[in-house]
A and B are shown apart, each in its own frame.
Chain A
Amino acid sequence: MSDLEYKVIVGLEIHVQLATRTKMFCSCELGFGQEPNTSVCPVCLGMPGSLPVMNKQAFEYSVMAGLALNCNIPSFTKWDRKSYYYPDLPKNYQISQYDLPMSEHGYIEIPLEDGSTKKIRILRAHLEEDAGKNTHTLGNFTAVDLNRAGTPLLEIVTEPDLSSGAEVKALAVELQRIVRYLGVSEADMQKGHMRFEPNVNLHITRGGQLYKTPISEVKNLNSFRALEGSVTYEAARQLDEFLETGITMESGNKRTYGWDDENNRTVLQREKEEAHDYRYFPDPDLVPVVMTPEWLDDIRSRLCEMPLAMEKRFVTEYGLSEYDAGVITSEKATADLFDNAVKAGADPKRVCNILTQTGAKLAKDKECSVAELGVNSENLTALAKMIDDGDVGASAAAQVFELMVETGDTPGQVAEKHNLIQKSDASEIESLVDAVLADNAQAVEQVQAGGKKSKKARGFIMGQVMQRSKGQANPKVVNQILAKKLG
């Protein structure tokens, strides 16, 4: 037992719902929470005589995702029918891609906790239509809603390169960030836009011999927490099971599990993988897609900088901490706002602080993203410069930012209107200082005497000056003048 070592081996299948307006093969509008069976037509109901026609946007979105995942985009791809009977599948076949997917052999780089990154190979990514929804909870029957039927899904299959629950989660989070950056998916977990199916097993070495445990497929996970939890749980469970029974992988003993969210554990659904016979064959109702170099270039030109690259750049070029860079790049619009402000001359750390502190707080209150607060990069740059120049102080800056969000005005306008501009005019401040010194001879004496009371008295004088300036004197300038006058 002491010589036992093991590795966790995980491959992941991810279904990502694309952010098209309409379904994959018909013009029904995609929505969420609609009345049952109201966003349906003869095509997605599988009515006799209806025919599918491809959504161009869905195809281009998936090519964008394929490119972002460093996949090869073949020049020829086609559609196949995958046959199985289920009440949420109106045609009893799913239009999918079998032997010639629209992208394959790529990789995704994921950030690890130690700050390094790891490449996870992507086997393939293909387009397919979603099924509808069976509801079993309304009574002693199953109710079928086909609003979701025909929703475009990108199915991404990784190689078994992941080795922990944390890595699996990191991949999921990174993929979410990528598809959101590209704008190809809203990737809203609450709405089921991303669904995961990890395949987990262990490679155990004991006594110089390698043992592989039976693969468990965990179905239909739709939160990062469940994804990470299920992989961690399965790894532990499989180790226990191996130690108890010695069971190893044989053909046909792949098992299917579900996730029990309340009790944080996997639940066995099917003991043995059924011998599925999907009878794939080319869908005769659809024609192939030929990808020309021009078209591919055009699609490629719509890509943006990927989040991880941006995150690294913010660390190396802008000197942000890894933590701050991660926060700023969690969402593209915020990252762009930050990047544009910096490019226009703002100090990176200054902007980062505004966004990650005041910005993040406001965004949380308003339940939106930082970028959605509506401050544009010009105004952000202007605010950062005002801080640099001493025109506003740190606490006033936060107030200015809040007012900018509220009014949409420039920081200059806001600060002016609310008297938040610091006065740095030396002669004006000097006369204020002189007046204060004249009125407070005792304090001046105490300062000049040095000793215990000197520091406190200096603070008192400083406070008096600020009070008379109604808080608008630049403390730095006041200090300089006081130093000159009081030594």
Chain B
Amino acid sequence: MSKKIDQQQVKQVAKLARLDLDDSEVAKFSTELSSILEYIEKLGELDTDGVEPLAHCLPVNNVFREDKPRPSLSNEQALKNAPERVDKFFMVPKILDDNSNS
């Protein structure tokens, strides 16, 4: 049976999801995800032409807040859980490629 998602695809998805999977994990996920995707294929049986996608069960729109400031956390509170910090900043290894996407 051909796999729904082969190991190369698993690696590609793992890269997108920032999971550094080892080879045995790649193999395992290829098998497991294929069997799950196989099952999910049953959705294809249904004719959904003209059916609106439902992102939300709630018939609610226009939920806003007023533009009024509220107290922020202190720097200490903000950084309390930081695995590594420097001065008042979060710290990561030096980014050499500015790969920002915004």
Task: Indicate whether A and B are direct neighbours in the complex (CB within 8 Å).
Answer: yes
Q: Which residues of A contact B (CB under 8 A)?
A: 20-22, 27-29, 35-42, 45, 53-59, 78, 82, 84-89, 94, 130-131, 134-136, 138-146, 258, 269, 276-279, 282, 284, 286-290
Given A144-B90, A284-B55, A53:B70 Cβ within 8 A: no
Q: Mark B59-95, 1 if CB is under 8 A from A, else 0.
A: 0111111111110111100110000001111111111
5 closest A-B pairs by CB: A143-B89, A56-B64, A57-B67, A27-B70, A29-B69
Q: Which of A37, A85, A87, A277 contacts B75 (CB 8 A)?
A: A37
Residues of A within 8 A of B63 (CB): 53-54, 286-287
Instruction: From B60, B72, B87, B89, give the contact of A29 (CB < 8 A).
Output: B72
Q: Which residue of B is nearest A128, CB measured?
A: B102
Q: Given A86-B100, A286-B63, A287-B61, list of 17 further CB < 8 A pairs?
A: A22-B67, A27-B69, A37-B79, A37-B88, A41-B73, A54-B65, A56-B64, A56-B66, A85-B18, A87-B90, A131-B102, A134-B95, A135-B89, A136-B95, A144-B91, A278-B101, A279-B16
Known: A42-B73, A59-B64, A277-B16. A284 touches B56 (CB 8 A): yes
CB neighbours (8 Å) of A89 from chain B are: 102
State whether A287 and B56 are in contact (beta carbons under 8 Å apart), knowing that A40-B72, A45-B78 are contacts in the complex. Answer: yes
**Chain A residue at minimal CB-CB distance from B74:** A38
In the assembled complex, B58 has its CB within 8 A of some CB on chain A:
yes
Question: Quick one: closest A residue to B90, CB to CB?
Answer: A144
Q: How many A-B residue pairs have CB under 8 A?
A: 134
Cβ contacts under 8 Å, B73 to chain A: 40-42, 45
Q: How far is the CB of A111 from chain B (nearest CB, A)?
A: 31
Contact (A143, B86) CB under 8 Å given A29-B72, A134-B95:
yes
CA distance A37 to B77 in the complex (A): 10
Chain B residues within an 8 Å CB radius of A145: 88-90
Q: Is B92 touching A141 in the complex (CB atoms < 8 A)?
A: yes
30 contacts between A and B (CB under 8 A): A21-B69, A22-B68, A22-B69, A28-B70, A28-B72, A35-B75, A37-B79, A37-B90, A38-B74, A38-B78, A45-B73, A53-B64, A53-B65, A58-B67, A59-B64, A86-B101, A86-B102, A94-B102, A142-B91, A142-B93, A142-B94, A144-B92, A145-B90, A269-B98, A277-B16, A279-B16, A284-B55, A284-B56, A287-B60, A287-B63
> Given contacts A41-B72, A143-B86, is CB(A55)–CB(B64) below 8 Å?
yes
Q: Compute how far the CA of A130 lies from the CA of B102 in the bound complex, rounded to whole angstroms.
A: 8
Query: For residue A58, which residues in chain B have a CB less than 8 angstroms away from its CB?
Result: 67
Write out the residue numbers on chain A whose beta carbons fall within 8 Å of the beta carbon of B24: none
B2 at interface by CB-CB < 8 Å: no
Give Cα A279 to B13, complex, Å.
11
Task: Count residues on chain B whose CB falls below 8 Å from chain A CBs.
Answer: 37
What residue in chain A is nearest B67 (Cβ atoms)?
Answer: A57
> B48 in the interface, Cβ–Cβ < 8 Å?
no
Given A56-B67, A58-B67, A142:B95 Cβ within 8 A: yes
CB neighbours of A136 from chain B (8 A): 94-95
Q: What A residues does B93 contact at CB under 8 A?
A: 141-142
Nearest chain-B residue to A138 (Cβ)?
B86
- Chain B residue nearest in CB terms to A48: B81
Q: For the complex, give the distance between the alpha carbons of A320 and B16 in Å.
A: 59
A56 and chain B: residue at smallest CB distance: B64
What residues on B are CB-neighbors of A278 within 8 Å? 101
- What separation, in Å, do the CA atoms of A28 and B72 have in the docked complex? 6
In the bound complex, residues from chain A placing their C-beta under 8 Å from that of B98 are: 258, 269
Chain A residues with Cβ under 8 A from B69's Cβ? Answer: 21-22, 27-29
* Complex CA distance for A87 and B96, rounded to whole angstroms: 13
Indicate if the CB atoms of B102 and A55 lie closer than 8 Å.
Answer: no
**In the bound complex, what is the Cα–Cα distance between A54 and B65 (angstroms)?**
6
Bound CA span A258–B97, Å: 12
Nearest Cβ on chain B to A189's Cβ, whole angstroms: 18
A290 to B69, CA, bound (A): 25
A21 with B68: CB separation less than 8 A = yes
Chain A positions within 8 Å of B58 at CB level: 287
A141-B92, A142-B95 given as contacts; is B78 within 8 A of A40 (CB)? yes
**Minimum distance in angstroms from B83 CB to a CB of chain A:** 12
Q: Whole-angstrom distance from the CB of B96 to the nearest CB of chain A?
A: 8
Nearest neighbor of A88 in chain B, beta-carbon distance: B100
For residue B62, which residues in chain A have a CB less than 8 angstroms away from its CB? 287, 289-290
Q: What is the bound-complex CA distance between A306 and B94, given in angstroms?
A: 46
Given known contacts A53-B63, A85-B18, A131 and B94 CB-to-CB distance under 8 angstroms: no
Could you say which residues of chain B place their CB within 8 Å of the CB of A78?
55
* Nearest A residue (CB) for B88: A36
Report chain B residues within 8 Å CB of A84: 101
B87 close to A56 (CB less than 8 A): no
Check A20 against B67 for contact (C-beta < 8 Å): yes
**Which residues of the other chain, B, contact A134 by a CB distance below 8 angstroms?**
95, 100
B76 to chain A, nearest CB (A): 10
B67 A21 Cβ-Cβ under 8 A? yes
Which residue of the partner chain, among A27, A41, A86, contacts B65 with CB atoms under 8 Å?
A27
Contact (Cβ within 8 A) A36 B94: no
